[in-house]
Structure 1
């Protein structure tokens, strides 16, 4: 009789001496020699026996189906072949047809066409015990995960932007990656401006950081609450104890944008028209939509979705001119930018002491909460407090610690980026007109979103509000108003 040998492991722990695939194969080959069988094929794989789709196991089944002669399936033990009864149905069909014998070496059990009820029951009992073992492991894993979550730990690999590491006392820990955490922070900040789509964020990550993150990965990152201090598990959120990368406010803002808050109710379709979705009709509030005439002229007009409002059609070139007129209003001479920059730098130096004092106070508050948690855990072990009370207070304290971490993170960002952001805005305001005139369509759209808000058209006139702080630098104010007063303490 020809024999098929099957050897399987499901975890790295089973790759030890006595459980490894080579050890299983050696014992199976020796068994085949003693029985006088001929080895038809050998199948060796690391695949869980409880998966819904057992791809490699199905190859063994296909081989049995295709053979026209009786086959002996040689397996080390029942749990190497199966840990559920779903395989029993198919294997038992082959057995009843006389196509298959199953030889379980360790159990000294052979299942064949003429097996009696006692042998079949032994097979079923072994499968039942294997399944019970799996269920017990599953329960232990669930309890372990629940314990980790309630203790503010992450039960698994950290998301991109963090690294899994170990502490000095060899405990698992998670900390921000020195480079990738900055990338994650910038991804959230870019998207929160509403000036970048996920595709554009992906492109900027490639251009600025030489890191390839496709749109799907960007979407996954923007939905991950771990970055702001929360573990998500089966739809529930649990505060964690690790350092955050972004604030909860920034995360919430991004979720609101993704959900449609402040988004224009339109879908980009067809040709990439420059102002699609940016403009609304001032009379009825409907969107302005583009149409191409004579194959080359682009006109925008009200969709008149709610009612006919008899507005005129506008050429794209005319809209560009009117947008340009708004952006031309923003300008600060180079020497004024330099003067403001110097004042900001001097002011920044005076904030160091304030930062150190507040930072020390917040860290002290965090340590007090940590000591409360450790004392409370000991009280729970001693039976002084109930499990439910412990869990309730743990969530409360972890939430407070998460808020403190967020404040510390915001304080650090404010301290390090205080004048950098201000200088960036000053330079953008200074160069915005030139950038708008020479830029590509996608850059024009981004500038409009950053500088202007609520663009509307009334007949042939474009109206918009210049956002702050750019409104402060629109043409008109005197030099005196441009320059902030210097701190008298400097």
Structure 2
């Protein structure tokens, strides 16, 4: 006899009395189902969310129990929405299914989902998991996201440039302040170079002679081009400038006067620098894993007209190792048409669109619950910190603590409040991104290639990022690993196959 656990819960007292009663409806039906399917129920996890504040702890206990006990084969729930109350639950249950081989049984829905399930039911499930992962990943405070959260708030995530220093307010909060001597040196360098009579080398010699500051001439060149001194942080990864909140000591007009001088002294820039190209940096070569480079070409006709083309091809750096059969060039318009076909593969029959809309509506409920929990947590923590600040102020007035102690506490707690404010702001941004993602998902399902071909270059990049990952170029063939549910949909693009799922999520087009 196989083993299973039962998961039962209601969200409100009304549900308890109107059709979802734990004792009268859910548990009897799930116990009967387990007996019919020859399951031994080894544990029942039963809770009412309206009366219990330890819901997350109980849900995690169930997850840990099922993972540790490899002989437990299944989780039995009354309905899908009883087992997955928010986005985090949905992703957690999907991990049980895929990584631990557990079966998910939903009695009322007459639905069983396993690691090998295919077809329409798994498309609905995968759509909800896809949206959940999109939402959760955007909120993860890993190193990457923390960096951009700081940049959006005007904070510097790395070492300050010459003329400034990084200072620590407390263990979790830092700031950047000017160093008077070095700041004066930087301002002097800008003033001297703006005269147009100095090169980087002569400027370096002058600083060493007059002020004893010995740095390579190339370092002075970097300083003179750094827009941090006029209030902007440059992020190389995204080629984007972010305004910062720190003090500035180089006048705005002086900075741009220096840039004019640099432009006059500098060499001619490469011919195609700065020209935007839709798929730059998005692909690798399937044969050797080298980067795919783009190369603009201009063809002159006899009548004097010029036609501009952009080609993509492997850099060929591994060709000497014999990994290539030959390097082929693919024109950008041809690449666009190939990718458009991939989007057409993810178009679903019109009669199926209401089903997708219903799935998205159900997923929306999970998103609301997930966001509500996050917002409530950060608002509560922010209010607690405000009470601490107010209490500390009263202690200062009473003489219990000194002014210096009060200032230290207030600075610390204000910084922590700012952290919660940043996360609340991010929740709002992610909430908006969710609706953009859902809109794109519906558009892809309804219009496919038409949507992709009409999109602007930046929109094309975003659409490809939503569709899948690992974009590979193999000569003139393009391959992408589709995210679920797109891989499920693409496997059923033939009307005859719509109810019959296939295994692979690899998509090849040429």
TM-score by length of 2: 0.37
Question: Scaled by the length of structure 1, what TM-score is found?
Answer: 0.38
Larger Rg: 1 or 2? 1
For CA contacts below 8 A with separation 6 or more, give which structure has more relative contact order. 2
